[in-house]
Amino acid sequence: MTASELVARIAARELSALEATDECLARIASLDGELGAFLHVFADSAREQARAVDAGQRTGPLAGLPVAVKDNMCTRGQPTTCGSRILESFVPPYEATAVARLQAAGAVVLGKTNLDEFAMGSSTENSAYQVTRNPWDVSRVPGGSSGGSAAAVAAGMAPLALGSDTGGSIRQPAAFCGVTGLKPTYGRISRYGLVAFASSLDQIGPMACSARDCALALEVLAGPDPQDTTSSVEPVAAYTSLLESGVGGLKLGVPRSFLGDLAAPMARVFEEACQVLVGLGARLVTVELPNLGAALPAYYIVAPAEASSNLARYDGTRYGFRAPDAGDVLTMFKRSRSRGFGAEVKRRIMVGTYVLSAGYYDAYYLKAQKVRTVLSRDFEKAFQEVDLIVMPTTPSTAFKIGEKSSDPLEMYLSDIYTVALNLVGLPGLVVPSAPVEGLPTGLQLIGRAFDEGRLLAAGHAFQQATDFHLRRPERTSVSQG
């Protein structure tokens, strides 16, 4: 059942909030031993929150809706590990604004989902705790870094999950797991309480079964927050009311020259998806985004640079893990960090420190920032001609567990279609498109800044004409609710 249907049924008292929560907890109990989507399940507090809904003490637009939260968002009094050993024992004293808003809307927090350590990765294999498996094929990755959230939604363990997207971490796992995922405009949702990876790129967003569900969640999540000065005061649209606007008469831009290398089966499902939108009245045109090829290298300079600075705070002094056997403070820093962080995080810190160092700053960091400016201009120009841009989300379907884990560059290349949006701050919605060899793919719709309403309406129109978003992996398709 979708989040919207679930909320409606609970509101109509056809289903109690406790029944909905228990159903999710039962699915987690039966499926998650194999899938590994959750790091922490809060069965007791979830049931308590659900009972409060049933007793009429908790109300709101999401009353009784079970949700899963990526484990890089702070949950007060409950663990928040970021998939890292260094935060293994960290229990935040405060709630992330996104989580607080879900709670205030009546949602029930089921637990925290697995991720690549500090959200650095594209497969969820970089978690210090466990590997998450793709519900469509358990020998494959769910994508990353929000792989736990994507797998939880795909397997029906949670109808809605929060993810974060710094370079594709909502959109790529959504595509790999056949769910709908929205990376909103930078600043649309408060990042207060989201553990920082790369602060100029990070954004929280919903992952669910449909564009409608993402719209429902965004209405609750979006808006300014005095605790996050980068959150925007741009008015929050009534996203669910805009859903029926359709794509009739819209001009959709395809950056054809950038898609030349796309493998034939992926190109075919992308073209088919575009034709669905054409069938709904949209017009396809080719757009030039001449510098799109520079996005990936620029991202893998900017993101590590910011990460190396953000992660300096984990030194054993204030948070989480501290090496117990260090005599002096420097040794304590060194041992805490070298034991607390995993290999990919260390690689990013070293790359980041390198590109920011005095001799290389201009050649790498400054240049990458210039690429961002140039890319922003490219998108601005394109959006003078078109209403939306469409692209594939990933160059392939979900890859095998272990296939890319020994080759970081191969792993980074899986982000080729997603990182540009973070560099320029624009919103992107991924909706499931036709499968390739039984595995999900995702169509990526890109909009102007704060044009999530149009984006979600286009996704909704696509989902009215297709059923890819309704398909569920066979082995997990026990009916829900």
Residues in contact with ligand GLN by CB under 6 A are 119-122, 145, 165-169, 197, 303, 415
Closest approach, Cβ 169 to ligand GLN, in A, equals 3
- 99-111-435 Cα angle (round to 5): 95
What Rg value do the Cα atoms of the chain yield, rounded? 21
Distance CA 474, CA 481 (A): 17
Nearest of 176, 187, 202, 179 to residue 72 by alpha carbon: 202
Cβ atoms of 157 and 32 within 8 Å: the answer is: yes
Cβ atoms of 465 and 416 within 8 Å: the answer is: no
Distance CA 91, CA 103 (A): 18
* Closer residue to ligand GLN, CB minimum distance, 64 or 205: 205
* Closer residue to ligand GLN, CB minimum distance, 164 or 433: 164
Closest approach, Cβ 298 to ligand GLN, in A, equals 12
**Is the alpha carbon torsion for 354, 360, 365, 368 positive or negative?**
negative
* Closer residue to ligand GLN, CB minimum distance, 147 or 432: 147
* Closer residue to ligand GLN, CB minimum distance, 336 or 405: 405
Cβ atoms of 192 and 95 within 8 Å: the answer is: no
* Closer residue to ligand GLN, CB minimum distance, 120 or 424: 120
- Helices 17-35 and 43-54: crossing angle in degrees, nearest 10, is 160
Closest approach, Cβ 74 to ligand GLN, in A, equals 17
* Closer residue to ligand GLN, CB minimum distance, 314 or 462: 314
Give DSSP secondary structure letters for 48-91. Answer: HHHHHHHTTSS-STTTT-EEEEETTB-BTTB---TT-GGGTT--
* Closer residue to ligand GLN, CB minimum distance, 34 or 410: 410
Closest approach, Cβ 120 to ligand GLN, in A, equals 5
> Which residues have C-beta within 8 Å of that of residue 228, sequence separation ≥ 6?
97, 190, 191, 192
Closest approach, Cβ 406 to ligand GLN, in A, equals 16
Please classify residue 460 by burial: count the beta carbons closer than 10 Å to its beta carbon, then call 0-12 exposed, 13-18 middle and 19+ buried.
Answer: buried
The strand pair at 66-70 and 388-392 is best described as unpaired
- Rounded to the nearest angstrom, the gap between the alpha carbon of residue 267 and the centroid of all alpha carbons in its chain is 23
* Closer residue to ligand GLN, CB minimum distance, 38 or 299: 299
Distance CA 200, CA 126 (A): 22
Closest approach, Cβ 305 to ligand GLN, in A, equals 12
Nearest of 207, 209, 158 to residue 25 by alpha carbon: 158
Closest approach, Cβ 308 to ligand GLN, in A, equals 13
Cβ atoms of 254 and 284 within 8 Å: the answer is: yes
Q: Give catalytic residues, as residue numbers.
A: 70, 145, 169
Q: Is 56 left (phi over 0), alpha (psi -120 to 50) or beta?
A: left
Run of H or E including 165 = strand 160-165
Quote helix, strand, coil % in the chain, to nearest 5. 45, 15, 40
**Alpha helix (H) residue ranges in 314-467:** 329-340, 343-356, 367-385, 408-413, 419-424, 452-465
